[in-house]
């Protein structure tokens, strides 16, 4: 059962689970090491931006999902990997901050949709712009061709992961 964590993610350098860099001391030993280290780097950016806006990482993820859609609570729970009670608490806290609102579903009188409010849209836009600025700075050493390659490889991995679960 996933729950919202109030504590920020530690610095990515503190979480390095890999056995260390390869023989030339500049590259991870395996693809797994490389992806985990990259994940920590990106999660660190997201966590710092979240903290600067008095948000948790899961709240930033919620805002990111809501920026272009109005999903139901079950769909949100699936996207975020939360159980029903955790999802309800997350939306309630965001609602109290004036960032989201619950709307009746036009298709099901029992279902509730979640949407950003105008302040929620503004905060989301600020967070997106800041994350974009920081990720752009992180990827500045890459050439244009490498940027294209990173996007293509990420898209391929994401397409290939559809339907995969995190359990062994």
Give me 106's structure tokens: 């036009």
pTM for the structure as a whole: 0.75
Distance CA(76)–CA(86), nearest Å, equals 11
Burial of 23 (0-12, 13-18, 19+ CB in 10 A): exposed
pLDDT in tens, 26-49: 677 899 999 999 999 999 999 999
pLDDT at 59 over 50: yes
- Where b means 16+ CB within 10 Å and e means fewer, 122-157 reads ebbeebeebbeebeeeeeeeeeeeeeeeeeeeeeee
- The answer to whether 76 touches 112, Cβ cutoff 8 Å, is no
> pLDDT grade, residue 12 (50/70/90)?
very low
């Amino acid at each position: 059962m996933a729950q919202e964590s109030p504590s920020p993610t530690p610095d990515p350098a503190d979480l390095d689970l890999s056995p260390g860099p390869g023989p030339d001391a500049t590259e991870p030993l395996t693809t797994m090491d490389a992806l985990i280290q990259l994940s920590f780097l990106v999660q660190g950016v997201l966590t710092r931006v979240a903290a600067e806006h008095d948000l948790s990482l899961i709240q930033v993820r919620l805002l990111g999902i809501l920026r272009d859609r109005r999903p139901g609570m079950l769909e949100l729970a699936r996207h975020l990997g939360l159980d029903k009670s955790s999802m309800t608490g997350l939306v309630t806290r965001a609602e109290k901050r004036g960032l989201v609102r619950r709307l009746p579903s036009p298709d099901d009188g029992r279902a509730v949709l979640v949407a950003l409010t105008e302040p929620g849209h503004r905060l989301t836009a600020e967070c997106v712009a800041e994350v974009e600025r920081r990720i752009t700075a992180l990827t500045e050493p890459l050439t244009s061709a490498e940027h294209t390659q990173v996007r293509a490889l990420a898209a391929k991995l994401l397409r290939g992961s559809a339907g995969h679960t995190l359990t062994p």
